[in-house]
Amino acid sequence: MEEGLIGEIEDPFEAVKWQQVLGGEGFLRKLKDHWNQRVERPKNYGQKRNWSTVGAEQVLEQVSKHFQCDLETLKERGARNNLARRCAITLCWDYAGLSQDEIAALLRMPSSNSVAQTIRRTKAHDAQTLKVLKNQISHK
């Protein structure tokens, strides 16, 4: 280990990493291949699955039509327990493929953490309303 830190071995931790794996050569080869693929692939923490051609503005329009309110009401901060706003946030995440940062900027929210918490709570408490709105959006 000291030898690697001093000079000859470029990365001593890389050299000992595979010594901890028990198994045959085939197993080790499969494990190395899997590990190398994992490293090369970028991690996707967001939900960028834009399988629908629905944009954020279309989602906001549909939600405002359903709740009979204007777009500015959806984008307005400060109103507590605004179901229309919560549904718009969740559907922008699910259908428009926006990231939490993009939703926070669009709907004037303080941070992406508040977006994540709103999405979680809305899915837990307002699932029936979301289901109706999703059907309306997907059948439009």
- The verdict on 110 and 77 lying in the same domain is yes
Which residues are CB-contacts of 79 (< 8 A; sequence separation ≥ 6)?
73, 85
Pair 60, 35 in one domain:
no
In this structure, the answer to whether residues 132 and 63 fall within a common structural domain is yes
Predicted confidence pLDDT, tens digits, the chain (140 residues)? 454 445 565 665 665 565 665 667 777 788 777 767 765 555 555 554 544 567 889 999 999 999 999 888 888 887 778 999 999 999 999 888 889 999 999 998 999 999 999 999 999 999 999 999 988 887 76
- Length of the chain in terms of residues written: 140
Quick one: CA torsion of 55, 59, 61, 63, rounded to 10 degrees? Answer: 180
Split into its structural domains, the chain has a count of 2
Could you tell me the two tokens for 104? Answer: 């926070």
Helix, strand, coil share (%) of the chain residues, nearest 5 = 65, 0, 35
The domain of 98 spans 56-138
- Please check whether residues 86 and 123 belong to one and the same domain: yes
